[in-house]
Amino acid sequence: MAAVAENGPVPVNDENTAPAVATPEQKEETEKTNGDNITVFHDPENFNVKHPLMHEWTLWFTKPPSGKGDNWNDLLKEVVTFNSVEEFWGIYNNITPTSELGLKADYHLFKKGIRPEWEDPQNKHGGKWSYSFKDKRSVPIDDLWLHAQLAAIGETLENDGDSEVMGVVVNVRKGFYRVGLWTRTVGKSIPGDKNARTPAQGKDVLESIGRRFKEVLRLNEGDVVEFSGHTDSAHSGSTRRKPSTLFEAFTTWGASHLRSIPHECRFSCYETIEESMIMANNDGLS
């Protein structure tokens, strides 16, 4: 069940704050059509079927600063935690779209228990893939952010056991939108018996995630997705740095070199996610 944070709600889309409640007659007709199983697609308010996600996820919101002296911790707000597809759609349909947020606002969707900060112990050795969309007027940012979220909660950005994806983020800035994907490591070796891997294997994992992320964002062959380590970004005083030769070289490969996203289901509601993505495609993101 979705849990709303106590320290403040996200901006709400007024048009969707009070969805129409089904009448008894409508509910009865729905039950006749679908038996006892009512999905969110049949009745957004009175569904009784939930498709659990592999992980719980928390939505965070960074509100635009009012001045230069604002503290980051005061701007970052935990909004809600959810663990099913239906709860995700209930949240998504009732918050302000990215395209309507103020400058310097951010949405962050991270696995439960991970704060979207470099200083979080689970992030301090990691990094992020990111891409900036410069022409804001022609960018379908709402659809792109939706796809990034679906890929994250649908566990399609990495292989089983990789345990790299921490969350996704979208930034609203004056001249661009930026969508990012945070990873647990920067491709270094991991000791141990169960999940051990060499530096080469670690880089392969990150490259695979970067390719899938590039596909999710519907980028062209020549578009470069940048990778930066959080430590490097913190030392430089910037959230971005020039990508390393290894990652820049790989991200400029042609579409024929992109590794396809596996079609096997990673959680029990794959069909629901697929249907959702088809709906998004039909809205203009193809």
pLDDT, residue 1, reads: 64
pLDDT, residue 69, reads: 73
pLDDT, residue 195, reads: 73
């089904």: which residue's tokens? 22
pLDDT, residue 43, reads: 75
Report in angstroms the alpha-carbon separations of 230 from 14, 42, 192, 234, 237.
36, 43, 24, 6, 10
Q: Map out the domains of the chain with their CATH numbers.
A: 3-26+35-282 (3.30.760.10)
pLDDT, residue 71, reads: 78
pLDDT, residue 29, reads: 54
pLDDT, residue 286, reads: 32
CA distance linking residue 21 with residue 24, whole number of Å: 9
pTM of the model: 0.71
CA-based nearest residue to 103, from 62, 135, 159 = 62
Cβ atoms of residues 153 and 187 within 8 Å: no
CA-based nearest residue to 285, from 233, 228, 227, 218 = 218
pLDDT, residue 46, reads: 75
pLDDT, residue 127, reads: 96
pLDDT, residue 255, reads: 29
pLDDT block averages, 10 residues each, the chain of length 286: 60 45 53 62 76 97 85 89 94 96 97 95 94 94 98 96 96 97 88 79 94 97 93 56 37 31 30 40 38
